[in-house]
Chains A and B, each alone.
Chain A
Amino acid sequence: MEKRKCDIVVAVAGNPNVGKSTLFNVLTGKIAHVANWPGVTVERKEGEKTYKGRRICFVDLPGTYGISATSLEEVIAREYIISEEPDVVLVLIDGTAPERTLYLPVQILELTPSVVIAITKSDLIHRTGIHIHVDKLEEKLGVPVVEVSAIQGSGLRELMDAIIAVAEGRRRRKEILKINYRGLEPFISEIEKAVRKYEVLPEYPPRWLAIRLLEGDPRLEEIIKKRGREDFLKKIKNIIDAVKHSIGKEPVELITTARFNFVDSIAREVVVRISVEEKEGVFEKMIKHEIASLFISSLLLISVFSIIFTLNSGFPLNLIFRWLGWDFVAEILETYSIIGLMNRAFNFIAELSVSFLTELNIPYWLISLVSDGVISGVGSILSFLPLIILTFLLLSLLEDSGIAARLAYSYNSLLNKFGLSGRAIYPLVISFGCNVPGVLSSRAALEEEERIQIIISTPFVPCQARLIVILAFVTAYFSSNIIQALVMFAIYLIALGIAMLTSLIIRKFFFGKSEPPIFLLEIPPIHKPSLKVVWWLTWDYSKHFLKKAGVIILSLSMITWFLLNYGPAGIASSPKESFAAIIGNLLTPLLSLYGIPEEKAWMIGFALFQGLIAKEGLIESIAMLQGGNINVKEALLALQLSPVQAFSLLLLFTLYVPCIPTIASIKQEISENKLMLVAVGFMLTIAIMLSLLVNTLLSFLWVGLR
C-alpha cells in the first residue's frame, strides 16, 4: 500500500480466530487488494475507507499470538510494524477470551505507542457472563480501547474516531509501554546503552531490542550476525551470564514472570466472569409470551423508573398524593427528595456566599455572577447527577442480570413500526422523567443509525419539568376535569407521535433505510448481577456526563445569567431591561401569529428563554414578570389567553428545545456540532410549525363552534 496515497495507514493485528477478518471486511467494505507478503506465500489483504474526510488504509497482518518471531506470521507482523511504521496498529482482543488475548497488545505496546485496542465479539461477551471494564483498561494501557461487534456493527464509529485521534497524536501514548522487569532493569539499561554505542539495528526501539535479546531471539541474533556484529552478540552473552550469576535465574524466566504478572494484574482488575445458567425460569417463560410480555415489561419498567424518579424529586408519587388531597405528604416527599435536599444545600451555599462577598465589599455584579451564575450552574450539573447515577444504576442492573434484553425483546415488534428496535424502550421511558439520561441512554441502541434516531427524537418526549408547565396551564385555562384530562392526553399523544415520526423520518430519509434495526442480540441467561460490573457501568456513564456535558451546562448557564442580568445599559434593574427581554421582544412578531398582543408577547418570549435553563423556570418567570406577588394560576391568567392560544402555546412549550442540559447531552452524544445544530433547529421548527398549525385549525373550529 502506498503510504503517500493514504492519510492514515492502520495495521490490523490479532490472534487467529479473534474476528479479525470479519472486522476488517466490515471496516473496509471490500478488500481493495489481495497479494502475498514479499517472498512468502502468506496472504496480505489491504482495504480502505474514507471517514471524516480522511482516506484510511488498512493492512491486515497475519493472525499471531505474539511478536516473538517464532513463526513466519509473527516475523511478518513484527517486521511490518518496525519497517513500515504504520500510523496506527489496531490490535484486537477476543472479548470472549480476554485473559488469553491480552498479551499481543501488551507486546505490541512494548514496540510502538501508536496503538488502538478493539475488543471484538461484544455481542457474545455478555451472553458468556464476561464483563470488561473498558475505561479501566484504557487507563492501564494508556491507549484507546473500544468494544466492537462486527456482526452488529456496533462500536465502529468510536473505533474510527479513536484511530484518527491516535494517528493525529491526540490520544497517543507519549512513549512505548515499559513493564517493570524488576531485577533485570539494570541489565536492560546496560544493553540499551550498548545498542546505542554499537549502533546495531538502529531501526528497532533500544529498550524493546534489549528485552528481546535478553529473552533470546534467534531472528534478531541472525540479523546482527549478518551485519557482522558478533562483538555485540558477545557482549549480550556476557550480560546474560551476569544475570544468571547475580540473580540465579534465566532472564527468560524473569521476563516471562514479569509479563505474566503485568497482564494478569490488569486482567484481574478489568475482567469479571459470572457463571450463567441456561435454564429457563417462570419469568423467562412469561416474558416470551406475546401478550403477557408487554404487560409484565411495562409494569416492571414503570414501577422501577417511578421509584427512581420519586427518590430523585418526588415525582410522580407527589402528584398522586396531591390528587388524593394529601398535600402535606407530597410536600414532605418533595422536600426530602434528592433534588429537594440539593436545592436547599445550594440555596444555603448561595446565600452564604452572598453574605460573605457582601462583607468583603465585592461589586454586586461579581456577587451575582458567583451566586446566580457559578453556584447555580454547578448546582444545575450536580442536580442531574443523582438521577443519572440512579438511572444508569438501574439500567446496569437490568443489563447485567440479562433482564434488559428480555424487556427489549417484548417491545421489539411495536417499536419496529417506528424504525427502532426494542432496546429504544429505555431511552423513551427514561425521557418521561428527564430527557438528559434519556439522551445519554441512547447508547442502548443496536446500531449507530438507531442511536442518532433516539438522540434526536427522545427530546420530544415530555419530561417531568414539562409536565409541571402542562399542569399549570391546564389548571389555569381549562376548568372542567374532563377537558383538563383530554388536553393533557392530547399534548402527550402529539409529543409522543412527533418523537416516533421523527425517528421514522430520520431512518427513512436521512439514513435511507426502510427496515428497522435487526434485533440480532442473543438473549443472555438471567443471572445475579455483579455489583462490581454495575458500578463500573454506572460510574463510567456519570463520569462522561460530568466531564463533557458538565462543562457545556456550566458555560451556557453563565451566558444565560449574563443575558438575564445585563442589558445595553449595563446591569439590568428590571427583567424588562435585560438582553433576555430584548431577545424575548424579537419573538414578538412570531408570537403575534398566535394572536398574542405585544405587551404580553415579550413576557412569553422572555419565559421561553428562561425555560431553556429548566422548563419549570418558564412558569416562574411568567409569575415574576406579572409582579411576583400573585400565585401561578393568577399569573398565567393575567396573560389573557384564549383556550386555543393556551393549547397552542402549551404545544410550543412542550416541543421546543427541552433545556440546556439536554442540548449539552445531545452534543456529548452526537459530537458533531453541525448535526447537533440541525437537531436543535429541527426541534424549534417542528414546535413552531405544529403549534401554529394547531392554533390556526383550532381557531377556525372555535369560531365555527361559537
Chain B
Amino acid sequence: MTFETILAVLKVLDEFKMIDLYILSKKLKISVEEAESILGLLLSHGYIRRKEVSISCSNCPLKSSCLVFGRGMVSVYIITKKGRSLLEKLSKS
C-alpha cells in the first residue's frame, strides 16, 4: 500500500463530501479491511472525522439498488479542514 492510496481515499472523501466504508472500498477497488485501516489512519491524524447517520429511505424508489438501505445507523466519513489542507499541500508539491 502506498501513500497514493491513502491520498486517493482523501480525494474520494473530498469529492463525495460524505461516504461510508463499503462504498469507499468499492469505489477504490480495495478490500473493506484495507479501507478500514486507511480510514483509521486518517481519523487518528485528524484528516477526516466519523459521524453516525440514520438511514431512513424505506420509501425511496431506488431502495432495491441502494447500497446503504436497510442498515439503519451508518457510519460515514467526512474530510476535515486539516485533511483538505493536506490534500492541497500535497497537490501543490
Contacts and interface: CB of A to CB of B under 8 A. Distances in A.
A97 B6 CA distance: 18
Nearest to B80: A70
A215 B82 CA distance: 12
B37 A100 contact: yes
Interface stretch (A196-204, A261-269, A650-658): A261-269
Contacts of B33: 99, 267, 271, 273
A263 B41 contact: yes
B6 A101 contact: no
Interface string B14-41: 0000000000000000001110111111
A253 B44 CA distance: 14
B45 interface: yes
Contacts of A74: 46
A97 B37 CA distance: 9
| SS class, residues of chain B in contact with chain A | helix
Contacts of A253: 3, 90
B54 interface: no
B82 A103 contact: no
A263 B37 contact: yes
Nearest to B5: A260
B90 A260 contact: no
A70 to B, nearest CB: 3
Most B CB contacts (10 A, CB to CB) among A68, A99, A257 go to A99
A66 B3 contact: no
| SS class, residues of chain A in contact with chain B | helix
B35 to A, nearest CB: 9
A250 interface: yes
A536 interface: no
Interface in A249-291: 249-250, 252-253, 256-257, 259-261, 263-264, 267, 271, 273
Contact of A259 (B32, B34, B41, B46): B41
A303 interface: no
A257 B2 contact: yes
Given A250-B89, A260-B1, A260-B6, A68 B36 contact: no
B55 interface: no
A129 B36 CA distance: 16
Contacts of A58: none
Nearest to A267: B37
A367 interface: no
A68 B36 CA distance: 19
Interface string A86-124: 000000000001011111100100000000000000000
A208 interface: no
Nearest to A260: B41
Interface string B77-93: 00010100010011001
A595 interface: no
Contact of B6 (A66, A244, A256): A256
A256 B34 CA distance: 15
A579 interface: no
B86 A252 contact: yes
A15 B44 CA distance: 9
A250 B32 CA distance: 28
| Interface residue tally on B, bucketed by range | 20 to 34
Contacts of B38: 260
A515 to B, nearest CB: 32
B2 A100 contact: no
B37 A71 contact: no
B11 interface: no
B6 to A, nearest CB: 6
Contacts of A418: none
A65 interface: yes
Given A66-B46, A70-B46, A271-B33, A102 B40 contact: yes
A261 B1 contact: yes
B44 A264 contact: no
A65 B45 CA distance: 8
B52 A17 contact: yes
A74 B2 CA distance: 27
Contacts of A263: 37, 40-41
A65 B44 contact: yes
A273 B46 CA distance: 27
A66 B36 contact: no
Nearest to A130: B33
A103 B41 contact: yes
A29 interface: no
A497 interface: no
A16 interface: yes
B43 interface: yes
Contacts of B44: 65-66, 68, 103-104, 107
Contact of B43 (A66, A267, A273): A66
B79 to A, nearest CB: 13
A249 B86 CA distance: 13
B82 A100 contact: no
Contacts of A256: 3, 6, 41, 45
Nearest to A248: B93
A70 B82 contact: yes
Most A CB contacts (10 A, CB to CB) among B6, B46, B82 go to B46
Contacts of A273: 32-33
A68 B3 contact: no
A103 B52 contact: no
Contact of A65 (B50, B86, B90): B50
A161 B43 CA distance: 31
B85 to A, nearest CB: 10
B70 to A, nearest CB: 13
Interface string A59-71: 0000001101011
A252 B42 CA distance: 12
A271 B36 CA distance: 13
Given A250-B89, A271-B33, A103 B3 contact: no
22 contacts: A16-B50, A17-B52, A65-B43, A66-B46, A70-B45, A70-B82, A71-B46, A74-B46, A99-B33, A99-B37, A100-B37, A103-B41, A107-B44, A244-B93, A250-B93, A256-B3, A256-B6, A259-B41, A260-B41, A263-B41, A264-B37, A271-B33
Q: Top 7 closest A-B pairs, CB basis?
A: A70-B46, A66-B44, A100-B40, A103-B44, A65-B43, A99-B37, A99-B36
Given A99-B37, A103-B41, A263-B40, 18 more contacts: A65-B50, A66-B45, A70-B46, A70-B80, A70-B82, A71-B46, A97-B36, A99-B36, A100-B37, A100-B39, A215-B45, A250-B93, A256-B41, A259-B41, A260-B1, A260-B37, A264-B1, A264-B37
